Chain A
Amino acid sequence: MILEVKDITKNFGEKSVLKGISFSAQSGEALGLLGRNGAGKTTTIRIIMQLFPPNSGEVLVDGKPLSIREINVGYMPEERGLYPKKKIMEQLIYFAELKGVSKDVAIERANKLLDRLQMTEYKDAKLETLSKGNQQKIQLVTTLISNPDIVILDEPFSGLDPVNAMLLKDVVRELIADGKIVIFSSHQMNYIEEFCNNIVIINGGQIAVSGAIKDIKRSYTKNLVLIESDDNEAVKTALASIDFVKDATQIDSGIKVELLDGYDIKNLMSELSKLDVLVSGISLYEPSLSEIFVDYTEVES
C-alpha cells in the first residue's frame, strides 16, 4: 500500500498555511514529519484525516483518493481526547465499535494492547484518574484497537517518560514489522532517527527537505570534514594556512572543517600531508538530524 500526498495547499482566510506539500509513504515503513511549531505538520495530518479539505492537491492510496471510511486509518491527534469520566474499557470498546469492530474482538484486542503497554490494572478505572503519560498510552490503544492499515501519530512522544517512550518505540517497531504505514510528527529528532527510514521536514508550509535520512545526511555532508588530533592547536594553525578552508570549529569529537565549494576531503588530505601536523583521524563529518533540522528550518523561515 502506498500513501501519496500530492501538492497540497491550504489557506485559512488570508493566511496560506500549506504551500504545496508532497510526500509518500509505503507499507512497512515509518515516515517522520518534522517541522517547527506552526510549520504545518498538524494541518497536513488533519487534511489526510479529512477533517477539512485542502484548497488544492489530493491524498491518494494506491492511486485512488483516500477515504477514511473505506480505509482504516488509526489517528492519534495532537490534542489528546477521550471521555474523562468513562471507564477505560468502556470507551475502548466504544471507539472500536465505531470503526466496525465487534465487541468480542474489541475486548480481546483491548486486553492485548493494555497488556503490551502495561496498563491492564487500569482497565476499569476512569480515564481522569490516570496520569498524563498513562492517558496517552490509553489514547494509543484507542488508535490501534481497530487494527488500522495506516497509523498516524501526531506528537506521540510528548509527555512520555523515558520508560514509556521506550515502550511506545517498541510498539511502533512492531507496527512497522506488521507492514503498516506509520506516519508521525515530532520535533524529538532522536526518536525519528531511530526508526524512520524517511523524513519530511516542513518549514513555513513548504517542504524544506525530504527523503531517506541516509541520503539527506550524505548530501548534507558534501564539504564538511571532521579531523581528530591530539594537538588541536597545531591542526588549527595548519588549517588557517590552507586557502580553501572556509571555517574550522572545535567540537567535542574533534575539529569540524567546512571547505569552500568545489573542494572535498581528498584536497584537504593532500594539503595536510604537505604540512607538518599529526592527525589521528580524518573523516567525512556526519551531522545529526537535529543539526540538519535546525539548519533547514532556521535558514528558510
Chain B
Amino acid sequence: MRQFFSVFKFELRGQLQSKVFRVITILLLVVIVLTLNVGRLEALLGDSLDSLKKDDEATKIAVCNKSEMDTEALVETFKMFFGEGYEFSVTKDDNLEKQVEKGDVDTAIIIETPLKYKYIVETVGMFDADQQIIEQVLITNYRYSYLQNAGLTAEQITAALEAGTESDVVVTGKDQTQSFAYTYAIIMILYMVLLLYGQFVASSVAGEKSSRCMEVLITSAKPMNLMFGKVLGSGSAGLLQLVLILGTTVGCYQLNKNTLDNEMIVSLFGMPVSVAIYSIVFFILGYFIYAFMFGAAGSLASRAEDLGALVMPINVIFIFAFMVAIFTMTSGNVDGIFVTVCSFLPTFAPMLMLVRICMGTVAVWEIALSIAIQIATIILLGIGCAKVYRAGVLLYGNSPKFKDIWKILTTKQE
C-alpha cells in the first residue's frame, strides 16, 4: 500500500508540475471565463460594438416580377415577412445573376408566375431561411387571391389562413428537446477528457519505457502498484482539473445568470442533479477503462514514436463509441435494441449509458448492471495491464503481435 501511495504521489505531483497540464488548465479557464462573461464584456465594450453593428449592412434583395401580380403589393408583403435588415429593389432587368455575382445585390428573386420563381444567391448558408420566407409569401398570396376569386370576404380569408391550434405537451419520459444540448456537451467533454488523460497515461508509460527506467521500477516495486498508482495519480490530476473548470464555470454562471441567453449554456445549467452525478460516475469509470488500455499500449512501445501505432486500435474503439453516441443522440432513438445492448458493453457504456440516462428511459437496475460490468472490467483490465506492463519492460525492437500479448495475459506471474 505504501508503495502504491509513493507511485500515486509521484505521478500526481509530476502531472501537476507538467507544463502541458498547466497550460491546458489555464487556457480552458480563460476560455470559460470569457465565454460566460460575454454579457459583461459587451456592456464594457458597448459603444465600440454598436459602431461595429452599424457597419453591418442590410441584405439587398432585387425583385423582378414577370407575373400578373401587383409588384408594389408583393414587395410590401415581402417587407412585412422579412422584417428588419432587408432592403428591396424592383427591377425589370432579368440578367440578375450577373448582379448577384458582382455583389451589387445579395439575393435576387425572379417571379415567373404566382407559384413559380427563380431564387438567385451567391452562397446558400446552412441555416438560410430566406427561401422559405419567399415561398411562404407566394403561397399565402396565391391562396388569398384564390379564395378571393371564390367569393370569400377579406375577413373570412384572414380567419381561414390564420387559424391555429392550441396544445399542451405532457412529457412522461424525457424531453429530448431539453436534454439534447446538455447531453451533447457532456459527451463532448467526456470524449475530450478521456482521450486527453488516456494519452497522458500512455505517453507517461512509454516515456518510462524509452528512458529505460522501467527496468529499475519493475525490480523495485510490484507492477500492480506501479500501474494503479500511475493511473490513479494521473486520474486525480485530471479530476482536480475538472473540478477547477466546473467550479469556475458554475461560479461564472451564477454571476452572469441574467445576461446569458445562449440555448446551450442555459440547457447545460438546467440539467438535473442526478444527471450531473451520473456524469461524474461515468467519467471516472470511462477514465479507468481507457486509461488501463492506454497504459498497456504504452508499455509495449519501445520508443515514443511507436506509441501512435500502438494506441490506434484503442482510439478506433473509442472514436467508434463516440460516433455511436452522437448518432444515437441525433437520431433520438436512444432506447433501440442496438443502443441498449451497447450500453452494457464496457467500452461503449460510459458514453452510451450516459446518453440513455440523459435522453431515454432507463431502469435503475440497468444502470446498476452497466456500472457493475464496468467495475468488473476495470479490475480485469487493471490486472491485465499490470501483466503487460511487467512483460513489456523487456520488449524492445519489433512491435509485439496479438499472439504475444495474449500469451502475456494468460501466463501466470508473481
Contact = CB atoms under 8 A, between A and B. Distances in A.
Nearest to A139: B216
A147 to B, nearest CB: 13
Contact of B211 (A83, A97, A146): A83
Given A46-B394, A86-B14, A51 B213 contact: no
Interface in A24-48: 46
A98 B3 contact: yes
Interface string B1-33: 011001100100010000000000000000000
Interface in A72-126: 73, 75, 77, 79-84, 86, 94-95, 97-100
Given A75-B219, A95-B220, A82 B3 contact: no
Interface residues of B, number: 23
Contacts of B193: none
B221 interface: yes
A142 interface: yes
Given A81-B216, A84-B211, A95-B216, A100 B393 contact: no
Interface residues of A, number: 25
A68 interface: yes
B267 to A, nearest CB: 43
B214 interface: yes
A77 B2 contact: no
B414 interface: yes
Contact of B212 (A46, A80, A97, A100): A80
B215 A50 contact: no
B216 to A, nearest CB: 6
Contacts of A75: 215-216, 219
A247 B7 CA distance: 64
Contact of A50 (B2, B6, B219): B219
Contacts of B212: 77, 79-81
B7 A98 contact: yes
B215 A81 contact: yes
Nearest to B3: A98
24 contacts: A49-B219, A50-B219, A50-B414, A51-B218, A51-B393, A68-B219, A69-B222, A75-B216, A75-B219, A77-B212, A77-B216, A79-B215, A81-B208, A81-B212, A81-B215, A82-B216, A83-B208, A84-B211, A94-B6, A94-B10, A97-B2, A97-B3, A98-B220, A99-B221
Q: Which 9 A-B pairs have the closest CB atoms?
A: A81-B212, A81-B213, A97-B6, A98-B220, A98-B221, A79-B212, A77-B215, A49-B219, A94-B10
Given A51-B215, A95-B216, 8 more contacts: A50-B219, A52-B394, A79-B212, A81-B216, A83-B213, A98-B3, A98-B221, A99-B220
